[in-house]
Copies of this chain bind each other. A is one copy, B any other.
Amino acid sequence: MVVRERPTLEAVARRAGVSRATVSRVVNGSTTVAVAIRDAVNQAVEELGYVPNQAARSLVTQRTESIALILPETASRVFSDDLFFPAVIRGVSAELEAADKQLVLMMAGSAASHDRVERYAMAGHVDGVMFASMHGADPLPGSLARLGIPVVCSGRPMSPPVTPIPYVDVDHFGGVAQAVQHLLGTGHRRIATIAGPQDMVAGIDRLSGYRAALDAAGLATHIAIGDFTRESGVRAMDQLLANDPALDAVFVASDMMAHGALQALKDAGRRVPEDVAVIGFDDFEISRYSDPPLTTVRQPIVDMGRTMARQMLGLVNDEPDVPQAVVLPTELVVRSSA
């Protein structure tokens, strides 16, 4: 393998018979360069196959043109059959692509990787950092923000940090309220819930919404906790059934868990929706094809990604009107499971 020395600005300048500064101007598209010289430089660039060294450039500009998306989850979780992460990534990716920024995707599901990611961001590898799927009160967003690194979160940060951080979230309460109303309206009275993990805002808020709605209706709550995975949905449903065999409806805080619940109900010999009505949360494509098709609260995940990316682009471009918080609407989609 012939390892040609990478040509430098210097080399191009010599070949074109100009100064380094002029080459730099041409390469960066400055308009104040004579056409003849510009052509000569471009030709030299072409002939030498010159590509600017990003490290050198970043060192002086303090810019990298790339932006990180940090997911505090393991890679096997992010790249599983859960369609939440892909949807966020698609949204982020679309906006960044349009802005010609490079997306750097980072999983931080272990203490070690969390550390590595922290060093990576602090080392100035990226111009900004986006977070999704946050657990607990992760200090990292705040730390980075305090260092002057632009940070945006998807999902309201759990403990309002010292340094306020822009975020995008969906209307969990509104969605849950619609779901419970629907169940109430169709005559259900023993309404249980399979909640999401209680170290995540999405898990907490949806459970609060459920509690509030049942309280308002003067009904007793039946709660089991899952972690948004299908398997946890199965387990939670089994548990709910064991505790109250007569329950007639269940609001599940994610579609994945709802699919698990559907399976558990089938295995327990319950018909859906005749014996037990089921409502999920997400509205993934596959939920239209489950058996029976899932009634669910639609949340615009791709839009969350897009919105978060736009906030980020606003920050790195020093735009003045970057919204501090945007809350996207949710909407009940009725299919035959409830």
Q: Which residues of A are at the interface with B, using a C-beta cutoff of 8 A?
A: 1-4, 6, 49, 51-59, 64, 66, 75-76, 78-81, 83, 85-87, 89-90, 93-94, 97, 100, 102-107, 110, 112-113, 116, 119-120, 122-125, 145-148, 163, 285-286
- In the assembly, how many copies of this chain are there? 2
Q: In the complex, what distance in Å separates the CA atom of A86 from the CA atom of B119?
A: 26
30 A-B contacts, Cβ less than 8 Å apart? Answer: A1-B146, A2-B146, A6-B147, A6-B148, A51-B119, A51-B123, A54-B55, A54-B123, A54-B125, A55-B56, A55-B58, A55-B64, A56-B59, A75-B90, A76-B90, A79-B86, A79-B89, A79-B90, A80-B86, A81-B81, A93-B107, A97-B107, A97-B110, A97-B112, A102-B104, A102-B120, A103-B105, A103-B106, A104-B104, A105-B105
Residues in B whose Cβ lies below 8 Å from that of A120: 54, 102
Residues in B whose Cβ lies below 8 Å from that of A87: 79
Q: In the complex, what distance in Å separates the CA atom of A93 from the CA atom of B100?
A: 25
A123 to chain B, nearest CB (A): 4
Cβ–Cβ contact A3 & B125, under 8 A: no
Residues in B whose Cβ lies below 8 Å from that of A90: 75-76, 79
Residues in B whose Cβ lies below 8 Å from that of A163: 1
Cβ–Cβ contact B123 & A286, under 8 A: no
Q: In the complex, what distance in Å separates the CA atom of A55 from the CA atom of B83?
A: 35
In the complex, the chain B residue whose C-beta lies closest to that of A164 is B1
Q: A54-B125, A79-B90 given as contacts; is B102 within 8 A of A4 (CB)?
A: no
Cβ–Cβ contact A3 & B55, under 8 A: no
Cβ–Cβ contact B54 & A1, under 8 A: no
Cβ–Cβ contact A52 & B123, under 8 A: yes
Contact of A6 among B53, B55, B124, B145 (CB under 8 A): B124
In the complex, the chain B residue whose C-beta lies closest to that of A64 is B55
Residues in B whose Cβ lies below 8 Å from that of A102: 104, 106, 116, 120, 125
Cβ–Cβ contact B54 & A124, under 8 A: yes
Known: A1-B146, A2-B148; 9 extra A-B contacts, CB below 8 A, are: A1-B148, A6-B124, A51-B123, A53-B123, A55-B64, A55-B124, A59-B59, A66-B125, A81-B81
